[in-house]
Structure 1
Amino acid sequence: MSLTSSPQHGTGYGDLAREIRERGLLAPRPWFYVKVAALLLVATALAVAAMVRWRDSWALLALAPALAVVSTQFGFLGHDVGHRQVTRDPRRSRILGLLSGNLMTGLSYDWWVAKHNAHHAHPNDLETDPDVRAGALVFDARQAGERRGFAAWVTRHQAALFFPMLLVEAVNLHVSGVRHVLRRGVPWRGAEAILLALHAVGYVGLLLATLTWPQALAFVSIHKALQGLYLGVSFAPGHKGMPVLDGEQAADPLLRQVMTSRNLRGSRVLDTALGGLNYQIEHHLFPSMPRPHLRLAQPVVREFCRSRGVTYTEVPPLASYAAGLRHLQAVGAGLRKAR
């Protein structure tokens, strides 16, 4: 299943898709993304120029949080490219994805597409959604009961550890991407590897040319920690703590995407900060819908769900994090009682 494919059958979905299509909300928005990319490139160039101008200054550490924001926003751009929101052409999408992902953020585009495809196909499925499979975190009490040793200790305290663990998530994504590219059979493997290498050489070279060793280590630590935190708080609210569906519910395309997703209530500032991921319901129903159209589609989808009696979840950002942490806490409760 590609990132652009959407269910064609199922209770209610066809009617909703028809209305969304008739409103023109599925049409690509290339010029919107040209402006986004231009702003990010200008921000990157200004940061590089500042580091060259004021080299060997501890004050340059103040740029690390700014670059964490730019890196994450490039990640959002790669996310939208992968969903064919910029162009429907597969080759052009891959090229743009390699540039925004591998070159500008140091993350493997092909690895992310494969992982994200599986998530979109079966959100919150404990067996097939890689975002909720048992790993560092566990999202199911039965799976938690199988943990032993240090893994069990982590699960017991996973609610408290959630945000600290996000501080290493960017590094984890880099490592996962490199491991993916080292495997045989990866499409465009040579381009993936070359662009990842160029990113690494450019990033490390810039730090070594403009900072002392202690400054460079501090810069990387701040940059990558905040990038991981930013990515985590952007992607996690959409599904964590939402229901796991039974077979009948999961077979219905409308229920599969709406009931497992959660929107965040907020302003256009939140739209920009989260790259449109605050409209998780609309995004999951229509992955190829360009980011600026999600806000326009929301009232249509919300009213459609109300008319069909389908639960449409929308909460303030802090409430979404609280719900996710409560779920993680509840999952580890059995291990805490067993001590």
Structure 2
Amino acid sequence: MTTHTTSHPLPPHASGSDFARLSKKIADAGLMERRPGYYAVRIASVTALYAVGWTAFVLVGRSWWTLAVAAFLALVFGQVALLAHDVAHRQVFRLRGPSETAGRIAGACIGMGYGWWQDKHTRHHANPNHEGLDPDIAPDLLVWSQDQARAAKRLPRLIGRWQAFLFFPLLTLEGLNLHVSSARALANRSLKNRVLEGTLLFAHFAVYLTALFWVLSPGMAIAFLAVHQGLFGVYLGSIFAPNHKGMPILTGEDRPDFLRRQVLTSRNVRGGRFTDIALGGLNHQIEHHLFPSMPSPNLRKARPIVRRHCEELGVDYLETGLLTSWRQALISLHRAGAPIRDARVPA
């Protein structure tokens, strides 16, 4: 299933050299070099905002203004998640040890299992939008293709009928899903540093819930929890949904070369510096997928080089506005659910 055109036919010499030539252009431009100053400022800023948010939570206390603090902390949690993302890709630190330490600290701050998420995200990068290989389009509550819709049963089949209309409401559960999936992953004995990951995860839950019910009345605590986690989920979904949803889905042995596999399944989102901050640079998704260890502030500079290279190769390079990206994702979801709506037998 696809809502966009594919590239022109691959040339006879396809095509490991296509990416090699692009990689040399990027390296010659110095765009793979670390940006320690940038990340020092960004880490300090996000840390300060995190501290300000929880300080405000204590100072506001038992007032319904605490829900404004919950909304603010939802945005801060999203920024922490984006930092964890950059750390996991070794954009910040070159070595694995410092990267894992920083990533686990960031994960602990928002209740995310760093090891679980890193494994899942690595598999996504290797095979973006490949049905059966990309965990991000595995059928769960939603179906991402018409084949998945035909095989859907029970709740996914019920939701799949109108999933495009339910998508943003369901994103309010994404923060909770992040916590639950992180906890469930601890049952997997192949998970590295499982004891440490579990300790950090449940320490976060304990401190978070104790703070809520210690400072606030039970009703306010529950309201804070709902607003904070709901908006955190919507923010995460709004960051990641525009990147691949509605782009071509690969199946079976359909695995083009690396450059085409990354470019044709990814979408860029236009915008200025504010968009870069809000989306953590992931609005330059094509460049990020081609060069995942490139520091996020360099992605904007890489864009014209990558786009020109794709034009020379005849490879489609899609870039839209944010609202258009959401619209394309929702259209794709609606089309994916068509077999369920068209079925003659009830779910």
TM range (shorter): over 0.9
Query: Which amino acid in the other structure matches residue 272 of structure 2?
Result: S
Are 2:81 and 1:75 aligned? yes
Within the candidate set 204, 209, 217, 2:209 is matched to 204
Distance 1:13 1:291 in 2: 20
Are 2:274 and 1:258 aligned? no
> How do 1:66-145 residues align onto structure 2 when only pairs under 5 Å count?
66-101=72-107, 103-145=108-150
Q: 1:330 Cα deviation (Å)?
A: 0.8
Give the match's secondary structure for 2:30.
Answer: coil
> 326-335 vs 276-285, which deviates more?
326-335
Q: Which runs of 4+ in 1 moved over 6 A?
A: 246-249
Name structure 2 gaps, 5 residues minimum. 1-14
Within the candidate set 246, 254, 261, 1:241 is matched to 246
Cα RMSD over matched residues?
Answer: 1.5
Conservation of the 8 A alpha-carbon contact between 2:175 and 2:232: yes
User: How many corresponding residue pairs?
Assistant: 330
Q: TM-score, normalised by structure 2?
A: 0.92
Q: TM-score, normalised by structure 1?
A: 0.94
Q: 1:38 Cα deviation (Å)?
A: 1.2
Are 2:175 and 1:173 aligned? no
Distance 2:269 2:83 in 1: 20
Conservation of the 8 A alpha-carbon contact between 2:131 and 2:251: no
Within the candidate set 155, 164, 169, 1:159 is matched to 164
Distance 1:154 1:130 in 2: 19
- 1:35 is matched with 41
Distance 2:48 2:251 in 1: 48
Query: Which amino acid in the other structure matches residue 252 of structure 1?
Result: D
Give the match's secondary structure for 1:91.
Answer: helix
Please give the per-residue CA displacement for 1:257-299, whole angstroms capped at 9, x wherever unaligned: 0000000011110010001110000000000000100000000
Conservation of the 8 A alpha-carbon contact between 2:268 and 2:283: yes
Q: 1:331 Cα deviation (Å)?
A: 1.2
Q: 1:181 Cα deviation (Å)?
A: 2.3
Give the match's secondary structure for 1:107.
Answer: coil
Conservation of the 8 A alpha-carbon contact between 2:259 and 2:290: yes
Are 2:290 and 1:285 aligned? yes
User: What is the aligned-residue identity percentage?
Assistant: 44
- 2:28 is matched with 22
Conservation of the 8 A alpha-carbon contact between 1:249 and 1:255: no
Query: Which amino acid in the other structure matches residue 56 of structure 1?
Result: R
Instruction: Mark the CA change 1:89 to 1:278 in structure 2 (over 3 Å): closer, same or farther.
Output: same
Q: 1:246 Cα deviation (Å)?
A: 6.5
Q: 1:105 Cα deviation (Å)?
A: 0.9
- 1:322 is matched with 327
